[in-house]
Amino acid sequence: MKTAIITGASKGIGKAIAYKFAQNNYNLGLIARSETLLNEIKEDLKKSYGIEVLIYIVDVSDYKKAEEVVDDFYKRFSRIDVLVNNAGITDDKFLVRISESDWDNIISVNLKSVFNYCKFVSKYMIKQRSGVIVNISSISGIVGNAGQTSYASTKSAIIGFTKSLAKELGSRNVRVNAIAPGFILTDMTEKLSEEIKNSYLDRISLKRFGTPEEIANVVYFLCSDDASYITGQVLVVDGGMI
Show which residues are catalytic.
151
Of 55 and 174, which CB lies nearer to ligand NAP in the complex structure? 55
Give the nearest distance from C-beta 51 to ligand NAP in angstroms: 19
Q: Which of 3, 27, 138, 150 binds ligand NAP (CB under 6 A)?
A: 138
Q: Which of 27, 61, 116, 122 binds ligand NAP (CB under 6 A)?
A: 61
- Can you list the positions of beta strands (E) in the chain? 3-7, 27-32, 53-57, 82-85, 131-136, 174-181, 234-237
> One-letter amino acid identity for 179?
I
Query: SS in 3 state form for 130-199?
Result: CEEEEEECCCHHHHCCCCCHHHHHHHHHHHHHHHHHHHHHHHHCEEEEEEEECCECCHHHHCCCHHHHHH
Contact between 109 and ligand NAP per CB under 6 A? yes
CA pair distance 158, 112, nearest whole angstrom: 10
**Greatest CA separation for the chain:** 51
59 and 34 Cβ atoms separated by less than 8 Å: no
Please say whether the beta carbons of 30 and 41 come within 8 A.
yes
Question: Does the protein bind ligand NAP through residue 136 (CB under 6 A)?
Answer: yes
Q: Which is nearer to ligand NAP, 36 or 171 (CB)?
A: 36
User: What would the x/- binding string for ligand NAP be over residues 160 to 199, using CB under 6 A?
Assistant: ---------------------x-xx-xxxx----------
Q: Is residue 12 a contact point for ligand NAP (CB under 6 A)?
A: yes
Say how many residues touch ligand NAP, by CB under 6 A.
28
Among 14, 29, 131, 239, binds ligand NAP (CB under 6 A): 14
Residue number with CB closer to ligand NAP (24 or 189): 189
| Alpha-carbon distances of 124 from 87, 119, 147, 174, rounded to whole Å | 21, 9, 38, 10
Q: Is 135 in the site for ligand NAP (CB under 6 A)?
A: no
Residues within the interface to ligand NAP (CB under 6 A): 8-14, 32-34, 37, 59-61, 86-89, 109, 136, 138, 181, 183-184, 186-189
